[in-house]
Structure 1
Amino acid sequence: MADSPETVIRPIDHLLLDADPVAPALDGRSGTQTYAELERSVGRLACWLAGFGFVKGARVASWIAKGPVAALMPLAAPRAGFVHVPINPLLKHAQVAHILADSGASLLIATGSRAATLVEGDVPFDCQYLREEDAACAMTGGDTLPPSEADGDALAAILYTSGSTGRPKGVMLSHANLWLGAVAVADYLKLRPDDRTLCVLPFSFDYGQNQLFSTWIAGGCVYPLDYLTPRDVLKVVDRRDITTLAGVPPLWVQLVELDWPQEVAGKLRRLTNSGGALTRPLVGKLRALFPNADLYPMYGLTEAFRSTYLPPALVDSHPDSMGRGIPHAEILIVRPDGSVTDDDEPGELVHCGPLVAQGYWRDAARTAERFRPAPPASLYGGMAVWSGDTVRRDREGLLYFVGRDDAMIKSAGNRISPTEIEEAAVAVDGVAEAVALGISDDRLGQAVLLLIRAEEALISAVEARLKADLPNFMQPRTIRALANFPRNPNGKIDRVALGQEYKS
């Protein structure tokens, strides 16, 4: 799809400027702020950050609860001329230490309870640490910075995402990437100024961060929520008259099991899903439970934000489809030689256009693997994201997911690197080798199966090590000890054979 000529790309920190200044923009336990009040808070937070004297383009990391500071850091850091690095609150100290070191962060803003879990050496010597309370205080008064004049190609954020091998890698997102992502989603979701979005997803995810951006660019109000139980979501939908809810399949499975009063379920106008496909039975339950809500199945990858969505009118007739490209995205399905496939011929999904990120931070090798010149058929040209996902296109132009080429495990909306789990397992004395696999799970999409070449008596030690080193969403459902692993002709572990033997 070609860009609309009227689309103007602006710095991401301009996001709040065009809405009704007295309309509510941010709601939550700390109260409600209007657009005018929130804009002042962004200016104050940006001025406070600028006061530390970091060089332009310095990375500023946040590892904080989902409140006003977390909501405004993505705007305030770029306004101050810095690059925001949000860290998933679920991560533990080893992953946080990697992100801080890899990004070269000059500042870490963290909640005290999280900071207390860090050990010596986790925070680099040249990275300053400040409490979340310090940032919150800075937003309440003092001088402000005016909106920035940043170029659209300037780096605004680095979002860390797991790869199929190795530790999390930082995806570099520009002002234009973030701005056009907000414009596109607000457009196809038909968001309005009277919409209220319940933000249950982490702001460290592109999907979670866009909950804020797309709502604000439409002039609506966001309500960030760190929920403990699914019933907390139901309660807030009722009390705050929520109209929009974004989620991942495991959350929907939990929500449809609740007893929703008809008048509460009827408040929702739209449900959006990404991070895994919805099953047909789940689609049916959602449609029955939320009759007033449009359902938007979506597909995306952090390297290009969002690629496709299925219009609600097609959900019943094409429940298995990924839909078509979103605004500002050109989606091609190509053969290995780069030529476009015929209808119903499987090929690799390639995402072209201005939503494509700038590559992986300080990782030229992995950037070259995923970010390559667009296929000849592209209207945009330039660099494209070669997803590694096999997809087919039907004669109506609708796309269908066929399979994932890499070894990534996708569980509860999280992309999990098998290597991270394997490295933690082999750190246990007596574990010679380890292989982490994704196996089918009705609630999670995929669960983690960990195979170790070790004595069975070591399973409990491995469990303890993983619980100490890895976040909950990376914990294996099952650990099995094997005497030997199958090998391919090159002597490497035959992961394909293991996957076939233990796929269920």
Structure 2
Amino acid sequence: MTTTAPGVIARLAGRPDATALIHCRRGTSRTVGRGHLVRSCQSAARALHRAGVRPGHKAVVMTRDAYDLTVVAYALCSLGAVPVLIEPRAEVRRCLRDVAPDVFIGEPLAQLGRQVLGWGRPHVQVSLVTGRPPLALGRRLVTRAPGGGAPAPLPREPDGDELAVIAFTSGSTGRPKGAEYRYATLAGQLDALTALLDPRPDDVLLAGFLPVAMLGPLLGLTTLAPAVNHLAPARTPPQALVEPILEHRVTQILASPAVLTLIAGHCARYGIALPSVRRILSFGAPLRLHLAEALREAVPDATEILSVYGATECLPVSAIDDHGLRATRVRPPAGQTGTCLGRPLPGVHPRILDAGPTGIGEIAVTGPTVSPAYHGRPDADAATKSVTARGVLHRTGDLGRLDDQGRLWFLGRKAHLVTATGSALTTEDIETTADTAPGVRRTALVGLGPAGCQRPVLCVEPLPATSPTAALAAVRAALEGHPDGHRVDALLPHPGFPTDPRHNSKIDRPRLAAWAAERLRGRTR
């Protein structure tokens, strides 16, 4: 067996006795050392090669098990194959049509879906099952190496331009697309995350999102993968998050607002403190102040709480702590609306394209964390990518502006701009004001009707203890102080917004707009 490319194994080789991964499942946890993880990756690589996996093969990996995902992805890289990561609830058939994978590796449920729904047909040549599958589902890939023994010699380091991973977007704002990460892209992302995390030797990182569990060991961190419900993170039992934080003395948390809401709520409900936590990073959707303040109640005063901005195609881009976020909300700079995303990370260069008189335009980014292309989607590349002196410039689809301090501001998705007759309302501008109303969990502005003459409707999700009537009244009062508040044509209470499957934090506005249109059908303006 020959090996090509993969520096990921080399990154794990140091400190073989240190803990790489703490894997939680069904109330138990399993600790995996770095040396054992390396041996498991190399053992899995040999099994993959025997099964027919070769350099350059594109291999879909579909499992909700953090350990299996980590071992399989690293093993594929060590063969020079390319892991393909797809959201389990995404448009899998269309994603696989874009990729045309040679290999499909998945847990039993994913393999059942492949067989019944024909995923990957006719491209898949090698199919392997992780976990403990029934025999009918196919050949099993063992991901746990036998104990003892030294790791095999390390394969060569890859060239930075070699394709490392294809990671699909969640599809929460359109059809999912496969972002290509070169090895240089991965290195840039790891460098940026290292700058954000400022890791220490004794740090324990709680990964609230599955791919973070895969990246954590590459950052040199002991990584705790809690038993998150990856098909619906917001439905995870809160104790499955809080108890491991206390047991393993977690120092850093990376999670979406939905997962952080579970942690903060559980701590508040039972009077639990999290004394070991020194940094919290929120990503996947803007961090609201009420959530930051709820988290503050559970952690030491010195804990840093960061809202991190980025996308699958460029992660991370910028960050701001909750103190800075609070300052921009209490005393917003003149002319600034929306949510402050903070200053760009080192080496990352945001630009505002097609800006109007207010300075608002589309956020575009260059830098080492930017994916250079989409796989099999030249149409998407043409719409979002261009080559500049600083490298590939990626259009994010987000509206924003840069202020005179070099900070980036977010105004919402370009596709979600509400254009009424004679006016245009950005979602983040209206919602950051409406979300301050007491008794309100969150709000969402949607436009009903064709662009240019849409009806602006604000949907309101009350907190459980607040009546819909009281929540609507509080939002009306908050909007009275907003210069465009009077343009919102209707307020509708909603019991719980539909959200993206990956983070349960981004609001599914097309579904919400369809619901609002049905509710308002027949009403007069």
| TM-score using structure 1 length | 0.71
Residue number in structure 1 paired with 2:295? 286
Is the Cα contact below 8 Å between 1:164 and 1:407 reproduced in 2?
no
- Aligned residue for 1:188, secondary structure, equals helix
Find the aligned partners of 1:24 and 1:231 in 2 and give their Cα distance: 23
C-alpha change, 1:263 and 1:122, in structure 2 (3 Å) is closer
Are positions 1:360 and 2:349 aligned together? no
Residue number in structure 1 paired with 2:254? 246
Are positions 1:333 and 2:343 aligned together? no
C-alpha change, 1:105 and 1:313, in structure 2 (3 Å) is same
Show the 5 A alignment for 1:364-375: 364-374=378-388
Query: For 1:129, which of 127, 136, 140 is the aligned residue?
Result: 127
Is the Cα contact below 8 Å between 1:74 and 1:84 reproduced in 2?
yes
C-alpha change, 1:303 and 1:175, in structure 2 (3 Å) is same
Are positions 1:393 and 2:402 aligned together? yes
Is the Cα contact below 8 Å between 1:22 and 1:36 reproduced in 2?
yes
Show the 5 A alignment for 1:175-190: 175-190=183-198
Is the Cα contact below 8 Å between 1:28 and 1:224 reproduced in 2?
yes
Are positions 1:348 and 2:362 aligned together? yes
Find the aligned partners of 1:282 and 1:200 in 2 and give their Cα distance: 16
Post-superposition offset of 1:11: 3.0
Give the AA of the match of 2:251. T
C-alpha change, 1:217 and 1:278, in structure 2 (3 Å) is same
C-alpha change, 1:42 and 1:129, in structure 2 (3 Å) is same
Give the AA of the match of 1:11. G
Show the 5 A alignment for 1:168-247: 168-203=176-211, 209=212, 211-213=213-215, 215-227=216-228, 228-247=236-255
Query: Once the two structures are superposed, what CA deviation does each residue of 1:61-120 show, in whole Å capped at 9, x if it has no partner?
Result: 11112231112333221111111012324x17xx22333332111121111133234414
With 393-402 and 162-171 compared, the bigger mean Cα shift is at 162-171
Is the Cα contact below 8 Å between 2:386 and 2:394 reproduced in 1?
yes
Is the Cα contact below 8 Å between 1:186 and 1:217 reproduced in 2?
no
C-alpha change, 1:439 and 1:401, in structure 2 (3 Å) is same
Give the AA of the match of 2:119. D
- Aligned residue for 1:299, secondary structure, equals strand
Give the AA of the match of 1:384. L
C-alpha change, 1:400 and 1:442, in structure 2 (3 Å) is farther
Query: Once the two structures are superposed, what CA deviation does each residue of 1:182-216 show, in whole Å capped at 9, x if it has no partner?
Result: 1211122211121111122132xxxxx3x542x43
Give the AA of the match of 1:349. I
- Aligned residue for 1:31, secondary structure, equals strand
Find the aligned partners of 1:397 and 1:476 in 2 and give their Cα distance: 35
Show the 5 A alignment for 1:100-139: 100-118=96-114, 119-127=116-124, 128-133=126-131, 134-137=140-143, 139=145
Is the Cα contact below 8 Å between 1:350 and 1:384 reproduced in 2?
yes
Residue number in structure 2 paired with 1:269? 278
Q: Which has the higher contact order (CA 8 A, sep 6+)?
A: 1
Post-superposition offset of 1:315: 4.2
Aligned pair count reads: 408
Residue number in structure 2 paired with 1:97? 93
Give the AA of the match of 1:14. A
Give the AA of the match of 2:203. D
C-alpha change, 1:65 and 1:348, in structure 2 (3 Å) is closer
With 62-71 and 171-180 compared, the bigger mean Cα shift is at 62-71
Query: Once the two structures are superposed, what CA deviation does each residue of 1:336-364 show, in whole Å capped at 9, x if it has no partner?
Result: 5xxxx99x732322211222212111111
Show the 5 A alignment for 1:39-54: 39-54=38-53
Is the Cα contact below 8 Å between 1:96 and 1:122 reproduced in 2?
yes
Is the Cα contact below 8 Å between 1:27 and 1:221 reproduced in 2?
yes
Are positions 1:28 and 2:23 aligned together? yes
Give the AA of the match of 2:399. T
Find the aligned partners of 1:263 and 1:250 in 2 and give their Cα distance: 19
Post-superposition offset of 1:477: 6.1
Find the aligned partners of 1:230 and 1:148 in 2 and give their Cα distance: 43
Post-superposition offset of 1:281: 1.9
Q: Which runs of 5+ in 1 are unaligned?
A: 1-8, 204-208, 375-379, 411-417, 419-436, 444-465, 487-500
- Work out the percentage of aligned pairs sharing the same amino acid: 23
Query: Once the two structures are superposed, what CA deviation does each residue of 1:94-150 show, in whole Å capped at 9, x if it has no partner?
Result: x22333332111121111133234414224134132110333346447995733432
Find the aligned partners of 1:122 and 1:386 in 2 and give their Cα distance: 30
With 51-60 and 170-179 compared, the bigger mean Cα shift is at 51-60
Give the AA of the match of 1:187. A
Are positions 1:303 and 2:313 aligned together? yes
Give the AA of the match of 1:192. R
Q: Which runs of 5+ in 2 are unaligned?
A: 132-139, 229-235, 330-338, 418-426, 429-445, 447-456, 464-497
Residue number in structure 1 paired with 2:162? 154
Residue number in structure 2 paired with 1:5? none
Residue number in structure 2 paired with 1:415? none
C-alpha change, 1:258 and 1:188, in structure 2 (3 Å) is same
Find the aligned partners of 2:395 and 2:160 in 1 and give their Cα distance: 23
Is the Cα contact below 8 Å between 1:57 and 1:82 reproduced in 2?
yes
Is the Cα contact below 8 Å between 1:180 and 1:328 reproduced in 2?
no
Post-superposition offset of 1:40: 1.7
Is the Cα contact below 8 Å between 2:17 and 2:35 reproduced in 1?
yes
Query: Once the two structures are superposed, what CA deviation does each residue of 1:412-451 show, in whole Å capped at 9, x if it has no partner?
Result: xxxxxx9xxxxxxxxxxxxxxxxxx9956578xxxxxxxx
Is the Cα contact below 8 Å between 2:98 and 2:377 reproduced in 1?
no
Give the AA of the match of 1:353. G
C-alpha change, 1:403 and 1:97, in structure 2 (3 Å) is closer
Is the Cα contact below 8 Å between 1:46 and 1:76 reproduced in 2?
yes
Is the Cα contact below 8 Å between 1:85 and 1:157 reproduced in 2?
yes
C-alpha change, 1:353 and 1:478, in structure 2 (3 Å) is closer
Instruction: Report the RMSD for the aligned CA atoms in angstroms.
Output: 3.7
- Aligned residue for 1:105, secondary structure, equals coil
Give the AA of the match of 1:26. L
Post-superposition offset of 1:472: 11
Is the Cα contact below 8 Å between 1:60 and 1:105 reproduced in 2?
yes
Give the AA of the match of 1:135. L
Post-superposition offset of 1:407: 4.6
Find the aligned partners of 1:222 and 1:191 in 2 and give their Cα distance: 12
C-alpha change, 1:255 and 1:165, in structure 2 (3 Å) is closer
C-alpha change, 1:183 and 1:217, in structure 2 (3 Å) is farther
